[in-house]
Structure 1
Amino acid sequence: MEYLHGVDLHMAQRNRSTVKIEVDDGETVEGRIVAFDDWHLLMQLKDFPCVVLVAAIARMEQLG
C-alpha cells in the first residue's frame, strides 16, 4: 500500500475513485473521498450509506 500525495488525493476526489485507507490501528476502510485537508479525509464508505471523517491515516492506495 502506498501513500498518496495531495495531487493524487485531488485526482481521486475529482474522478470519484475508490481508495483504501489504512488507519493507525491497522484497520482499513474503502470508499470515495468527499473532501480533505492536510490532516483529515471526509469519505463516503463503500459498504455503508454514510459519510465519515478519517483522521488517523497511516497509508492509502487508489483502487479504481
Structure 2
Amino acid sequence: MRFGPAVHHRPGWKGHPSNAVWFCSDHVPLTEGLIDLPVSAALERIRDTPAAREEKARRQARVAAQAKEG
C-alpha cells in the first residue's frame, strides 16, 4: 500500500519506497481513506483503531503469560 504523494526515484534506483507499507489481506481494509496521508499519519490512525488496540492488549497479555511461565 502506498501512502501520500507519489515518490519518484532516479532511473536505476533500488530499494524500498519510503511511502510504501506492506499489509496482509486481512489488514488492507484498515487503510481505506488513508492513502492520501503521509505514512506516519496513516499508521498512527491505523494503530489507534479499536481493533488495533484490542490486538495490542492481547499480544501484551500473551507475552506476560509466557514470561510468567518462564
Same fold (TM over 0.5): no
TM-score normalised by length of structure 1: 0.22
Structure having the higher Rg: 2
Which structure features the higher share of helix residues?
Answer: 2
TM-score between both structures, scaled by the size of structure 2: 0.21
Counting strand residues as a fraction of each chain, which structure ranks higher? 1
